[in-house]
Amino acid sequence: MRKTLRFAALFALYAALGAVSAWAQAFSFTCPATVASGATFLCSVTGTPANAWVNITSNTNAALTSIPDDCWTPPATGRPACQFTARKVTKAASETVTAKLNGVSINRIITVTPGGGPPPPPPTITLRSLSCSQASVTGPASDFCTVTTSGTSTAAQTVALASGSPSVAVPASVTVPAGSVSAVFSASAMSVTAATTATLTGTLGTSNASFLLTDLPLVPPPPPTLTSLVPTQTVLIGAVADSLTAHLSGAATVATSIAVTSSSPSLTVPGSVPVPVGASSVIFQANASAVTVNTPVTVTASLAGNTTSTSITLEPVPPPPTAYEVNLTWQAPASPADPAAKYDVYRNGAHLAFATATSFVDLLPTSLDGMTLAYTVKSVDSAGVESASSNMYPAAIP
């Protein structure tokens, strides 16, 4: 009886040892270290009894979207298969997967890479800015403007354009070529009478940008002014004419006239001198009268409040040149009671001159060559009574 009990106890011990060995039985868990984005792949479990269940867990669920709860061993093959699905990623992501069986755990790190999966969607291209080379133009004129996008694209981008004023025209759209971030278009400003600001707007998708362009009116240049008045001659002898030129600072933009005056009636000028469009100078005539003494004259010209002047001297005509001199001398009357106040000199019976002294010089031109001249003198008292004629003095001209 005692031997039987020992045998039974020994059998029970062997049975317990066998159970412990089965509980801690080793197995293997194999997975690929790297998989592509969005891929479906298998991990395998081997070394387990038939129909054994292997528990599967993960630490983050960051790289995998589909993880089986258990992997089991089919009776037919003895090798269960575990199917997983990787997330679609744009950059590498890793996850730790753990297989557990009878208290034994095996960890595998699986890395999902973006290669091999579908490419991420392209970034949305937006309109970043719209600018023009000038903030203001004077119409009619053109200004070059630029639209700039947020980045390059594999496809061309069409930017719709609009102007907030009819005085500035823009095309309906401008195209940014593929691979570029900008495109240039022309804004055309028209003639205006007052400054006008147009808002230029570009639209790409839901994004837009704008720029303020001012169209300025054309301001005419100021009218020219008088710069100088120049006579052809500054000295006029006798009754002659002279030409004067009035110079302007630039060409006349409209027809106008210059007012002219003279400081002396001995030099006459036109009261107004017309200036045609495009002229930068005009010429007019001044007419001098004969004078007996030197006469300075100022000629003044005025245009739109601007005045300039010049000086001209009028001189008498000099006597003709002489070739001979006849020197006459005589004695005063002998009567002291009625002295002579002056003397009248006659030549060939015609009054020639008067003298206060008892001498006179007659200057003769060459035109009297070969002639004989007869000179006489008469005294004149203070009452103006002329005496009888003196004796005649003949002068023969060679």
Beta-sheet pairing, 235-237 with 272-275: unpaired
Q: Is the pLDDT of residue 25 over 70?
A: no
Domain count, the chain: 4
The dihedrals phi and psi of 10, each to the nearest 5 degrees, come to: -65, -40
> What pLDDT band is residue 75 in, cutting at 50, 70 and 90?
very low
Rounded to whole angstroms, the Cα distance separating 112 from 36 reads 6
Assessment of whether the complete model's pTM goes beyond 0.85: no
Kindly state whether residue 79 falls inside one of the protein's structural domains.
Answer: yes
User: Which of 300, 309, 308, 246 has its CA nearest to residue 276?
Assistant: 246
The CA–CA distances, whole Å, from 24 to 261, 283, 366, 374 equal 134, 129, 166, 180
Contact 143, 187 (CB under 8 A): yes
Kindly state whether residue 178 falls inside one of the protein's structural domains.
Answer: yes
Domain residues for 386?
Answer: 324-396
| ω into 321 cis (within 30 of 0) | no
Rounded to whole angstroms, the Cα distance separating 284 from 229 reads 11
> What pLDDT band is residue 363 in, cutting at 50, 70 and 90?
confident
* Contact partners, residue 2, CB within 8 Å, separation at least 6: none
Phi/psi-derived region of residue 7, left when phi > 0, alpha when psi is between -120 and 50, beta in every other case: alpha
Average pLDDT, whole number, for the chain? Answer: 85
Kindly state whether residue 388 falls inside one of the protein's structural domains.
Answer: yes
Beta-sheet pairing, 350-355 with 359-364: unpaired
Q: Could you tell me if 172 and 204 lie in one domain?
A: yes
Contact 99, 72 (CB under 8 A): no
Rounded to whole angstroms, the Cα distance separating 85 from 83 reads 7
Strand, helix or coil for residue 284: strand
The radius of gyration of the chain's CA atoms, rounded to the nearest angstrom, is: 64
Q: Could you tell me if 102 and 138 lie in one domain?
A: no
Kindly state whether residue 89 falls inside one of the protein's structural domains.
Answer: yes
Residue ending a domain, among 54, 79, 113, is 113
Strand, helix or coil for residue 146: strand
Residue ending a domain, among 170, 196, 216, is 216
Q: Could you tell me if 173 and 108 lie in one domain?
A: no
Q: Encode pLDDT of 267-304 as tens digits.
A: 999 999 999 999 999 999 999 999 999 999 999 999 98
Kindly state whether residue 1 falls inside one of the protein's structural domains.
Answer: no
Cβ-based burial of 119 (10 A; exposed 0-12, middle 13-18, buried ≥19):
exposed
Kindly state whether residue 119 falls inside one of the protein's structural domains.
Answer: no
Q: How many Cα atoms occupy the beta-carbon half-sphere of 258 within 13 Å?
A: 34
Distance of alpha carbon 191 from its chain centroid, rounded?
17
Residue ending a domain, among 193, 216, 239, is 216
Percentage of the chain lying above the pLDDT 90 cut:
52
Q: Is the pLDDT of residue 10 over 80?
A: no
Rounded to whole angstroms, the Cα distance separating 92 from 65 reads 15
Average pLDDT score over residue span 147-174 = 95
Q: Could you tell me if 105 and 11 lie in one domain?
A: yes
CATH number at residue 253: 2.60.40.10
* Contact partners, residue 397, CB within 8 Å, separation at least 6: 324, 364, 368, 369, 370, 371, 372, 373
Least confident span in 88-92, 143-147, 202-206, 365-369 = 365-369
